Amino acid sequence: MSGLESLLKGRELGGRYRIEEVIGRGGMGAVYRATDQRLGRPVAVKVITASAGNDPETRERLRARFKHEAASAARLPKHPNAVTVHDYGTDDELGLDYIVMELLEGEDLATRLQRGGVPPMAEALRILQHAARGVAVGHRAGLIHRDVKPGNVFLVRHGQEEEVRVLDFGIAKAMAEEDTASAGLTHDGRAPLSPAYASPEQLRGDPRLTPASDVFSLGALGFQLVTGTRPFTDADRARMGAWLEVPVPPLRARNPQVPEEVEQVIRRALHPDPSQRYPDANALADALAGPIRRIADTPLGAAVPAAAGPLVDDDRTMLADADRTAYAGDDDRTMLAPPLPARGTPQPVPVARSGTPVITPPRRRQVAEQRSGIHPMVWVLLLAVLGLAGFLIYQQMSGRSSVGPVVADTMAIDTARQDTIDNVDALALSMEGLRFLNAGDPAMALDFFRRANEIDPRNPEYRDQMAVALIRLGRHAEAAQLLESTIRIERRYDLLYSHLAEARLALGDTLSAIRALEDFVEITHNVADRQRAMQMLQALRTQPPPVVPVPAPSESIRITPPPVREDTFAPPPRPAPRDSIRLGFPR
């Protein structure tokens, strides 16, 4: 039990809700069993701690967003498949936001899958349909859930009966709020998401999500319920975020017992183009009605064999805001979507693996058809590489290195080196690592960068990314060693030198940092970076070295030499010790 949880136990939040015990933890905070002292009924209170430790302006922004969205959730009509929100508020004494919900007895779907494996087909489809009905409650009220996943689907026990409830509509964002005030509440437009279940448009950071985004998440949930596996890998999701179309894996290849009509429903829900999915969650629920009726009395009710390894072993819930990250569990990761580009910023062209644009406006398609002077495959490869590189640049622009003096954009992409990007899988892992790095998780980022380097060891960029992650982790000596070994192989990649300077400065080796910056200035083609590096060099060279005086010998250890005989040669007096000089750089 954390210190905050101990502090809250027995306390009354808002002068009304007496906290009793922790019953769940998540990325945004913890859920407590409590008693409504005014009405004398048990309730669940979710205390939001994700903003703790942020600066006052950020805390107020998050608080305004929380209250706005909690109010939206509280206005939802009662429905058997959606959790009821009773109240929300802020404890003035502790400064903690909370939301009060009905207390449910049972377990979430993530726990059920981990404990009992995949349910029988009829039961799996019933859970999916009821979850879709719950999400549809929000869609009818103009809300998108944005974080549909097993951890947000709760199985409520009522004797021998079991109901399905959708949780956490409090993190939804009103679809109708497109005005300036709403934009101010969301600040940078980012919203929580769980990459394992997020739609391609969420992974790209699209600000204008539709109910079809939740339909995709429900499709990913349904895929897992009937096959025992998730539909997409980390590399697949990285490709989606880079505007590359990823085909839906065939369900019956993973479980031959899946009926064809069920596969068709789930594959449509997972279509990469939102306009080709079911328009909202209610339409998906209606599409499942027929298969559920036909399966109910057949042998297909048998359970699906569980896939090797736990289904939810990486169901980590992670909420990242600014550079803060909180964990609870292991993947159902809830994290922030990519920051939105500035208005007017050109977006990468959506490209399928085949080279066909995913959604191409008529004008752009006409222009593309006129470019027949180059072999089509050349355009396929060019667009794929440019789309991926553009996404990397876009990701990097959202997060700068703050370790030591910044002499260059930490993860900037040298477009002159696109010849080294010859392996899409490695690049996809690199992009996933960048996502974690920007979310404040350098340890996880380091793992992805290492895997990218194993696939494509010729690309110095992946080793440079590993070094940046090591710097963020405070492992400066390892970073310096890695960078120096890479420079011996690839001497013309300028970012290696700028990051080596960061590492050497952190280690107090100013002279080596100066040499690295001099090399950076010599080889970089980026004018702005060269100017910043030259300013840093001037500061390092003109910084007066600190004088470290040698202390006088202590009286307690002073030794008086014996008198010198007149007939003995006396050595010349010993010169006074010189002050020692140490070069350093103020931190």
Return the active site residues.
147
Please give the C-alpha separations between residue 349 and each of 259, 286, 340, 500, in angstroms, as whole numbers. Answer: 36, 34, 16, 35
Phi first, then psi, for residue 137 (nearest 5°) are: -60, -45
Ordered alpha helix ranges (H), 75-162: 109-116, 121-140
Tell me the C-alpha distance between 479 and 264, whole Å: 49
- Which H or E run contains 549? none
- Which H or E run contains 426? helix 424-438
Cβ atoms of 435 and 395 closer than 8 Å: yes
Strand ranges, E, within 376-475: none
- Which H or E run contains 107? strand 106-108
Phi first, then psi, for residue 148 (nearest 5°) are: -75, 125
Gap between the terminal Cα atoms of the chain: 37
| CA quadruple 96, 100, 101, 105: dihedral sign | positive
- Residue 117 region, left (φ>0) first, then alpha (ψ -120 to 50), else beta? left
Tell me the C-alpha distance between 91 and 524, whole Å: 53
Strand ranges, E, within 171-239: 173-174, 192-193
Amino acid at 43: V
What's the angle, vertex CA 82, arms to CA 81 and CA 83, rounded to 5?
Answer: 125
- For residue 247, what are its two tokens? 């085909």
Phi first, then psi, for residue 18 (nearest 5°) are: -85, 120
Q: Compute the residue count for the chain.
A: 587
Query: How many other β-carbons are positioned within 10 Å of the β-carbon of residue 323?
Result: 13
Burial 404-413 (b: 16+ CB within 10 A, else e): bbebbbbbbb
By C-alpha distance, which of 145, 167, 131, 288 is closest to 214?
145
Strand, helix or coil at 91? Answer: strand
